[in-house]
Structure 1
Amino acid sequence: MSFVPKAYRGRTAAVLGLGKSGLAAVRLLKRKGFRVFVSDTRPRAEVKAALGRLARAVSWEGGGHGPRVLKAGFAVKSPGLPSRAPVLARLRESAVPVFSELEVALAFSPPKDVVAITGTNGKTTTTALAAEVFRQGLPRGRRALLAGNIGLPVSDVAPAARAKDTLVLEVSSYQLEDSRSFHPRAAALLNITPDHVDHHGSMAAYIEAKAKVFREQRGEDLCVFNAEDPLVRKLSRRCRCRRLFFGRKGAHVHAWVEGGKIKVKLPGRKETAFIPPDLPGTHNLANAMAAILLALGSGLKAAAVQKALKAFPGVPHRLEEAGAVRGIRCVNDSKATNVDSTMVALRTFTEKNVLLILGGLHKGSPYKPLQPLVEAVVKGILTIGSAAAKVEEDLGGLVPIFPCGDLKTAFTTALHIGAPGDVLLLSPACASFDQFRDFEDRGDQFKALVKASR
């Protein structure tokens, strides 16, 4: 069942969870004339502070989801609320329809052209790059608008778009798991590695959530797949629209790296070469290939694509250069919230001079896959957060480990044990919520420490 706004006119909308997306949904529904009831598990004082002026305009509760949510005409689930949350079972038992913030936002949106990117890693960079490529390549008068899990809620951006605009969305498994009718014209599935299993309940459920990015696509719709990822390759067989693949050069691959350039050969077209954006790591070549295929597969011109690739500066918190202190190069990779992301970061270094800040809120995956890279390029590990003991258990004995507890202590310790020419890398392989608001807050605090010490 899709969300059709006119079918719910006059009914109360219960918004469950008040993160960025939930708050944006409250603003949107209120603007569209719905009565809104907000329900959140945080203390009442925090909910009131998050609502700000809206606290006077809507009904709300904190400290848990009470019986009042069951009286709503429909509910809007914030992405961070687990699908196994008891309140959702109670709503189903009470026959209250539950919709995702993503679908509610798009129901009020005029654009027919939606481009969606998902994957365990690389989503943000690929989405930002794709948005830049579409901005350069769309005809005059058409805009490419960036939104989604990139920090710009769809409920804030989509309803203000025009019918001829293109929405370029980063979509997470949290957003997709509740999707019933999400239908992007073009999509990309970058990779799938273990992540968010605690939220979804199983790896199988996580994979199925990712697959929803192309579930409703048909015919001339487009989906771009990573040919090097076995899980992605397997899922691609279920796709019922046009498929394009990136990876190593081969018979069924449409984008590959050769001679330092990205080569592209679409069906029925001649081969084209692109100079990739100036970003660190081979993973960013994969991100660029996905963005290029989305653009060319959508009919954009190669010249516009190349112009966007050349101008793209990258995004914050992804192997971001934060500056140098006492000759120690500081790199902010706070977005590395899982082990696979930290592995990608460590592969960009070749010397054993990395001081690695590792830890935070443990997400259930072991840190043992890091062992070969730690032995190759890491000279010391500085642990923070509640995952410190697990990090020590999995990586102890390979290199010196310094239990630091918090980021400031880790930073100060690194300056004491480091030497000019070393690299201090914040790539935690963990979620941030035990000590920070989010990964951006963690990265910003790291950059502030660097700035204050220069």
Structure 2
Amino acid sequence: MKHKSIFGYGVTTTPLVAFLNKQGEKLYIYDDKFKDISTDEKGNTFLPSSAFESASSSMEILSPGIPPYHPLIQKAQHRISEYDYFDMLLNDEAQKPLNIWISGTNGKTTTTEITTLLLSPFGAKSGGNIGTPLATLYEEKAPVWVLETSSFSLHYTQKACPHIYALLPVREDHITWHGSFENYVSDKLKPLTLMNAQSYAIIPDELSSHPTLKAYKGHLITYKDSVDLAQKLDLPIERIVFKEPFLLDALIALGIAKVGFKCEDIERLNLFKIGKHRIEEFYDTQDRLWVDDSKGTNVDATIEAIRRYADKHLIIILGGDDKGANLTPLFDFMQGKDICIYAIGSNEARLADFAKKYALPCVPSTTLQKAMELIKQVRKTDDVVLLSPAAASLDQFSSYKQRGEIFVKLALQ
């Protein structure tokens, strides 16, 4: 007898498994972390990835983090994304929620959270990478789904699509997973190939020559920057309290609310509080400024953080697992600025080589603890110390959150 299979057992798929168990399903769950076959009290079977046999599987629902080159994906014959699965359950168009998807390299979470705040009077709830699991959104019959959507989810989604799609600027990221920057961009634009003529898309102008945009049937709004978007949508930029890079996030969220709901609630927008570890400023007992941007895990995010403090003497902690990203744009941006780099993590030597090439001072420090010890010996009162690693954290930390928390603790000691 064939069964449903779940690929990957983590944050995304755990609520899905619970949902399917309530429907009477007993699932086969495959994950690299399982070394032996076991079962739980719900009748689910946990198996190593190597145990998967496509002949016994009727459907494979994927955790989006599993890359296309993984053996599980290669053997699957009936794979489906979580987005497509719930779209299939919502087969009655009259009962489907209004779907808003938000993607991009940086700013997805902030834009999703602001959009959800603006549309909360209309019953909006956030999901996807953040917020409420899709299974819960489905069970609660939320009328508006605001989904922070990764390029991984978009890659595997073949049928589901949003009514409104907003894309923040796309910069080099996840290249190993996608195979190339061109593939990454194509996945980011994929929803446009599935959306109808009544849909709306807010897309960076730099992608306007891409074939996918030229073929898009819906209402297309392109933007060069925050000022351009505000002008095109007639949004009162002067009344918005946020600075860049959050200003663009706020304007995109406000644009979604305006085109989708004719809502332009600036007062509600300005109540939003930026999340932790994203250009989060704090002061120590000596009134010295420290900035936790541990969520700055790629080059573009770090450039935006540096831009905020370009008129200061900046001490920046860089480093971690950069996944082979192109660091040239970051060092091009830093060149000529009053910056000193403290390099940590697995790409420490690579950062030191770049710094030498660009004649930027760099102190190889290996660990965050060592970097902070050295910085405290030399920093002056007016210096700004910024943790914005332009790299993932998992080489030395459990998450960017842990990295940020340790940075704050060390700064305040």
Q: TM-score, normalised by structure 1?
A: 0.82
Check conservation: 2:103, 2:167, Cα contact below 8 A: yes
Partner of 1:345: 305
2:262 equivalent to 1:300: yes
Matches of 1:160 and 1:289 in 2, distance apart?
Answer: 31
Name stretches of at least 5 consecutive residues in structure 2 with no aligned partner. none
Compute the displacement of 1:82 (Å).
0.2
Matches of 2:315 and 2:54 in 1, distance apart?
Answer: 49
Equivalent residues in 2 for 1:214-293, closer than 5 Å: 214-227=192-205, 230-231=206-207, 234=210, 235-247=212-224, 256=227, 263-266=230-233, 271-275=234-238, 277-281=240-244, 283-293=245-255
Matches of 1:316 and 1:69 in 2, distance apart?
Answer: 43
Match of 1:100 among 81, 96, 109: 81
Partner of 1:26: 17
Compute the displacement of 1:450 (Å).
3.5
CA shift in 2, pair 1:31/1:444, >3 Å: farther
Matches of 1:403 and 1:70 in 2, distance apart?
Answer: 53
1:318 alignment partner, SS class: coil
Match of 2:44 among 39, 55, 58: 58
Compute the displacement of 1:346 (Å).
0.9
Partner of 1:16: 7
Compute the displacement of 1:396 (Å).
2.4
Match of 1:81 among 61, 66, 70: 66
Partner of 1:365: 325
Partner of 2:137: 158
2:398 equivalent to 1:437: yes
Partner of 1:91: 76
Check conservation: 2:86, 2:134, Cα contact below 8 A: yes
Deviates more, 1:369-378 or 1:211-220: 369-378
Identity %: 25
CA shift in 2, pair 1:80/1:434, >3 Å: same
| Aligned AA (2:140) | A
Equivalent residues in 2 for 1:65-144, closer than 5 Å: 65-68=50-53, 71-92=56-77, 97-108=78-89, 111-135=96-120, 138=121, 142-144=122-124
- Report Cα offsets for 1:261-304 as digits up to 9, x if no partner: x84455xxxx45244543332x32222221122111113332x2
Match of 1:425 among 377, 383, 386: 386
2:273 equivalent to 1:313: yes
Partner of 2:149: 171
- Report Cα offsets for 1:340-388 as digits up to 9, x if no partner: 1111111111234211111111222232222243234453212221111
Matches of 1:70 and 1:346 in 2, distance apart?
Answer: 53
Check conservation: 2:30, 2:52, Cα contact below 8 A: no
Name stretches of at least 5 consecutive residues in structure 1 with no aligned partner. 1-9, 249-254
Q: TM-score, normalised by structure 2?
A: 0.89
Supply the RMSD in Å over aligned alpha carbons.
2.7
1:243 alignment partner, SS class: strand
Partner of 2:284: 324
2:371 equivalent to 1:410: yes
Matches of 1:108 and 1:447 in 2, distance apart?
Answer: 45
